[in-house]
Amino acid sequence: MKKLRDIMRHGFLFTVQRGAMVAEAVRTMAANNVGIVAVLDDDRLIGVFSERDVVQKVLDRGLDPARTPVAEVMTARLVVADVDEDYQSAMSKMDQANIRHLPVVSGERLLSMLSIRDLMRVAIEDRGAEIEYLKEYLYQVPPGLGR
């Protein structure tokens, strides 16, 4: 079973500091074509800020993105995965928490951010390999019966 360390994309982690304004976080997401940024206090992960947070916690409340600190509207109750977890465990966590992104950590250190799309891609590859193996097994010609 593939571990998160084997599938996470290195360098695919976008962050803002806790004092950043929402507008800066949104610019970071837009510039990098991502739907989430990790919120840090120096190097420590303290939350995440997603497109969902923009809609539900900023725009819907009529807050000004240029004047609202991301720390006030971020998701602080984090669900994280350890780098040595298998991808199915991570998918299960995401499903149970109804989230689309999962920070990957090693101890206290943030390493990467995985999306449900990243994990689904791995699941599809695994199923494809499993199907090929089963096809080979089913259509295997026993020795002595070959043409």
Question: Any idea which of 16-20, 72-76, 141-145 has the lowest mean pLDDT?
Answer: 141-145
What is the total count of domains within the chain? 1
- 145 located within any domain: no
Confidence of residue 146 (pLDDT cuts 50, 70, 90): low
- 97 located within any domain: yes
Distances (CA, A) of 80 to 6, 48, 57, 99: 17, 11, 21, 11
- 143 located within any domain: no
The CATH number assigned to the domain holding 115 equals: 3.10.580.10
> Domain containing 131: what range?
4-138
pLDDT in tens, 23-44: 999 999 999 999 999 999 999 9
- 41 located within any domain: yes
Half-sphere exposure (Cβ direction) of 92: Cα atoms closer than 13 Å: 5
- 117 located within any domain: yes
- 26 located within any domain: yes
Is 140 a residue whose pLDDT tops 60? yes
Greater pLDDT, 140 or 89: 89
SS3 at position 63: coil
pLDDT in tens, 87-125: 999 999 999 999 999 999 999 899 999 999 999 989 888
Is 147 a residue whose pLDDT tops 60? no
- 79 located within any domain: yes
- Residue 71 tokens read as 């720390």
- 144 located within any domain: no
Per-chain mean pLDDT for the chain: 91
Between 87-97 and 116-138, two packed helices, what is the crossing angle to 10 degrees?
130
